[in-house]
Structure 1
Amino acid sequence: MVNLRPVLRRARPDEADALSGLALASKAHWGYDEAFLASVREELTFRADDLAERHVVVAVLDGDLAGFYSLDGEPPHGELGNLWLRPDRIGTGLGRVLWEHALTEAAAAGFEHLDIDAEPFAEGFYLRMGAERIGETPSGSIPGRVLPRLRVRPRDRRTS
């Protein structure tokens, strides 16, 4: 793990295109083909209004956007709607930094639990961070595809 000291801050509306590109690049990291990526592009596209209205936090390293997450919903029940890293930051410890920050923010906001519709290749990360699998949920982009549905309780989480 790399010693990371990112600046964590709220996303700005003018970063919508950059975050959309980062999310799509992160998804592509898992080897999906162009047809698959085209089918999820809309779901991974952020607009300025999204960033103004939602709780989206970015990680900035060396002046560059390196990752982000979103907390969605209203307490007490919410969702970790996104957690994406630039591909060159996957496996460096930045995911854990964003995860811990998200859970701290969620607990402070009064969330009792967060649900996660996980990227299947990232399920192991979430389980290692203390989330539990509670079922499956249909993909928002691809008919017939299901995603792992996970849950974490911000106040009594386990991390390894």
Structure 2
Amino acid sequence: MVKIRRAEAFESEALTNIAARSEAYWGYDSTFMKNFKRLYRVTEKFIIDNPTYAIVEGKEIIGFYGILSTETETSLEFLYIEPTFIGKGYGKLLWTHMVSICRCHGIKEIALVTSPQAKEFYSKMGAKYIGDVDSIVAENKKVPKFIYKIEK
């Protein structure tokens, strides 16, 4: 049985590892992955302070997402699935849940920056590609940025 629940602070390392395995799925080299793990570490503080949800099957976490709101924008900071579950609909379940949570919090728009390999997924979810931005993980690399308008 699959369910989505609020992530717990003690799960920060497990979520960080899921993010790293999910990103590594796309074949990035060791230098990229070292930077990724440092920059995309899910901290206990992030989980406590921000809407962060895990999708679980039984007791196993198979993916998660996290939303960050600042004074200037709300962004989807994390949305990662264990590689063995990629392409099986779990990302769509997390996306739908994330949109619902945004509605509950009165969020009208969410931004996200993603890897080029996930561009098609976010387009299918209805996010609008607004251009490429500089990657924070790799020098001289551009990555796609999207905006999703949340309707009532």
TM-score range, shorter chain: over 0.9
Shift of 1:74: 5.0
Look up the match of 2:38: 42
Per-residue CA deviation, residues 65-117 of structure 1 (Å, 9 max, x unaligned), is 00001111158941111100000110000000000000111112111111110
Residues 75, 110 of structure 1: 8 Å contact kept: no
Unaligned runs of 5+ in 1: none
Cα distance between partner residues in 2 of 1:137 and 1:123: 13
Per-residue CA deviation, residues 17-74 of structure 1 (Å, 9 max, x unaligned), is 1001000000000111222211211112122122111211110112100000111115
Shift of 1:141: 2.0
Task: Please show how residues 96-107 of structure 1 align to structure 2 within 5 Å.
Answer: 96-107=92-103
Look up the match of 1:94: 90
What TM-score do you get using the length of structure 2 for normalisation?
Answer: 0.93
Unaligned runs of 5+ in 2: none
| 1:10 aligned onto 2:31 | no
> What secondary structure is seen at the aligned counterpart in 1 of 2:98?
helix
Residues 32, 137 of structure 2: 8 Å contact kept: no
Residues 76, 113 of structure 1: 8 Å contact kept: no
- Indicate the percent of aligned positions where both proteins have the same amino acid: 26
What TM-score do you get using the length of structure 1 for normalisation?
Answer: 0.89
Alignment counterpart, residue 109 of structure 1, candidates 92, 105, 111: 105
Cα distance between partner residues in 2 of 1:74 and 1:125: 25
- Number of residue equivalences: 152
Per-residue CA deviation, residues 124-149 of structure 1 (Å, 9 max, x unaligned), is 00001111111122112222211101
Following TM superposition, the consecutive aligned residue runs of length 4 or more in structure 1 with deviations greater than 6 angstroms are none
Residues 72, 81 of structure 1: 8 Å contact kept: yes
Task: Please show how residues 16-31 of structure 1 align to structure 2 within 5 Å.
Answer: 16-31=12-27
Cα RMSD over matched residues? 1.6
